[in-house]
Amino acid sequence: MGQPSEKAVGPLRIPFDEHRIDVNQISACASRIITTLHQSGYEAYVVGGAVRDLLLGFVPKDFDVVTDATPEEVRRVFRNSRIIGRRFRLVHVYCGRDMVEVSTFRAPHEVSNSKDRKGRLLRDNTFGSISEDAIRRDFTVNALFYDPRSEEVLDFCGGYADTQKNLLRIIGAPVQRYREDPVRMLRAVRLSEKLGLTIDPKTRSPFKKQARLLEGVPTARLYDEFIKVVKSGSLASAVEKIVTYGFQSALFGKLEKIKEQSREGDFLRLVYEKTDDRINSGKSVSPAFLFAAVFWPEVDRKWNYVESDPKYMGALVRAIDEASDSLSQTFVPKRLIADIRDIWYLQGRLLNRRGKKPAQALRHGKFRAGYDFLELRGIVGEVPQELVDWWTQFQEIEPEARESWLEHNNKLGATEPKKRVRRRPRKKRNTTEASSSQ
Ligand code: ATP
Ligand code: MG
């Protein structure tokens, strides 16, 4: 922990006059819990993301509380609480429908001595002092404690100065900290994009070289972190960083790198931007839709180049099967794969505007997602806008009027499947694949 500011010594105490956090910005539930813990003779603070967000002028998502009381002691103080977690035992304390996580000061891993041979943390549950709890955290700005009683911010790692400089800086020796937990590198990207922080050069410089550490992280954890990136509302810029630092192969497996100046690139950018728009206006996003998009260029490429099957649906199904295989090697949960396949499959079904097919497609459980997907493909010119408009109108038609509508529209020539199945020049394809794979 080379720098003096990162040593576990007495904290810098920043008074209200300087930090200007209004005590009323702390959630009523967290305030009550802290007061009750004080009255029971324990220390207690707001910690982590909430203090950071308040100092940076953001509204905190939630308020975490940290204390010197053990989980059992916290449990005894609050009737409406329960102990959870195996790796970290902490307490969920409820105030009506509100819930606050209360954790006990933990010592860093050097003290708890529970790393595997690669330096990864196995167990991280040894209780410690407040200063030890500060230095086991990931970034200096995440290691600040707020005391609502004195209205002071306690700073053991120089995090307060970093909030003033909009700087995201890892605590301790960067490579060692990434070996202990490679997800910290993804957290750096997410937090810096979400909060507009610059990643400190020393924090950032090992990323490319250490990116492969992410391959050893359980896929469920990578997925959770990626979903946090999605929900941050900065997906488009975060994905750019993920690619720049070489984190994407741990996430997306052998998925080919998409060229910047390409229709595939335009399509993905559009999907990421639309996702950000939805999140930033308080709407939900569907992970299946998003992953259908991320892996779509692979399906589409295969679909276009299937050699032997002149029927476009057969070709599409084969492309979907191949892409599902590679998808199942990634961090995308298996439970999403059926929905993802449906969205892909509908891209073929929606090409057929003959007879009963359109009405059948409309009844498909994933029609809406398939149609939304087609619309995005239309925007980047992957399918004719006329096809998208046709479906936009067809949905509006009353069921009993559909037949005559179809008859009229079919006369206008909007019936033929547009997908062309091209023959793939075998040699050329092999070289293309070799040169564009990661
Ligand atoms: P968000 O606003 O997205 O919730 P956060 O910083 O609060 O951001 P959490 O995952 O809620 O993120 O973590 C709470 C706190 O726990 C962090 O602020 C940090 O102090 C600590 N922490 C989280 N993940 C790690 C990690 N991988 N290594 C060390 N400390 C961590
Ligand atoms: Mg948090």
User: What are the structural domains, with CATH classification, of the chain?
Assistant: 1-165 (3.30.460.10), 171-269 (1.10.3090.10), 286-412 (1.10.3090.10)
162 noted as active-site residue: no
| Helices (runs of H) and strands (runs of E) counted in the chain | 24, 10
Contact 66, 102 (CB under 8 A): yes
Lowest mean pLDDT of 42-51, 168-177, 264-273, 398-407, name the range: 398-407
So what's the pLDDT on residue 421? 47
In the structure, what pLDDT confidence band is assigned to residue 164 with cuts at 50, 70 and 90? very high
| Ligand 1 pocket test, candidate residues 121, 138, 213, most atoms within 8 A of CB | 138
Give the H or E element holding residue 326: helix 312-327
277 noted as active-site residue: no
Lowest mean pLDDT of 210-224, 251-265, 288-302, 382-396, name the range: 251-265
Distances (CA, A) of 205 to 174, 359, 387: 9, 55, 48
3-state secondary structure of 83: strand
Is the sign of the CA dihedral 136, 139, 142, 143 positive or negative?
Answer: positive
Chain segment 262-289, per-residue pLDDT in tens: 888 899 999 999 999 999 999 999 999 9
User: What are the tokens at 341?
Assistant: 């396949």
64 noted as active-site residue: yes
Q: What angle do CA 138, 141, 144 make, to 5 degrees?
A: 95
Give the amino acid at 367: F
Q: Measured between alpha carbons, how far is 151 from 260 in angstroms, rounded to an integer?
A: 49
User: What are the tokens at 179?
Assistant: 């070996």
**Minimum-distance ligand 1 atom for the alpha carbon of 61:** 2
Chain segment 338-391, per-residue pLDDT in tens: 999 999 999 999 998 888 889 999 999 999 999 999 999 999 999 999 999 999
Q: Which residue has the tokens 């993804």?
A: 186
Chain segment 185-197, per-residue pLDDT in tens: 999 999 999 999 9
Mean pLDDT estimate for the chain: 88
Ligand 1 shell residues, CB under 6 Å: 48-49, 61, 64, 137-138, 142-143, 181, 183-184, 228
Give the end-to-end CA distance of the chain in Å, rounded to a whole number.
Answer: 35
pLDDT at 261 over 80: no
Rounded to the nearest angstrom, the distance between the alpha carbon of 259 and the centre of ligand 2 is 35
Rounded to an integer, the average pLDDT of 213-237 is 95
User: What are the tokens at 142?
Assistant: 């995440």
Contact 152, 16 (CB under 8 A): yes
Q: What angle do CA 380, 382, 383 make, to 5 degrees?
A: 115
Q: Measured between alpha carbons, how far is 200 from 177 in angstroms, rounded to an integer?
A: 15
In the structure, what pLDDT confidence band is assigned to residue 409 with cuts at 50, 70 and 90? confident
| Ligand 1 pocket test, candidate residues 55, 123, 142, 190, most atoms within 8 A of CB | 142
Rounded to an integer, the average pLDDT of 165-176 is 98
Determine which one of 53, 133, 138, 342 is catalytic: 138
So what's the pLDDT on residue 262? 80
**What is the DSSP secondary-structure string of 361-425?**
HHHSTTHHHHHHHHHHHHHTTSS-HHHHHHHHHHHHS-GGGHHHHHHHHHHTT--S-----PPP-
Judging by beta carbons within 10 Å of its beta carbon (0-12, 13-18, 19+), is residue 182 exposed, middle or buried? Answer: buried
So what's the pLDDT on residue 405? 84
Rounded to the nearest angstrom, the distance between the alpha carbon of 35 and the centre of ligand 1 is 23
Instruction: Report the candidate in 312, 377, 317 with the shortest Cα–Cα distance to residue 345.
Output: 317
Nearest alpha carbon, ligand 1 atom 10: 49
Q: What share of the chain has pLDDT > 90, as a percent?
A: 72
Alpha helix (H) residue ranges in 130-173: 130-135, 159-164
Q: Measured between alpha carbons, how far is 103 from 90 in angstroms, rounded to an integer?
A: 5
The residues that bridge with 9 in the sheet, in sequence order, are none
In the structure, what pLDDT confidence band is assigned to residue 403 with cuts at 50, 70 and 90? confident
Rounded to the nearest angstrom, the distance between the alpha carbon of 118 and the centre of ligand 2 is 27
Half-sphere exposure of 321 (CA within 13 A, CB side): 7
Q: Which residues contact 217 (CB under 8 A, 6 or more apart)?
A: 182, 183, 250
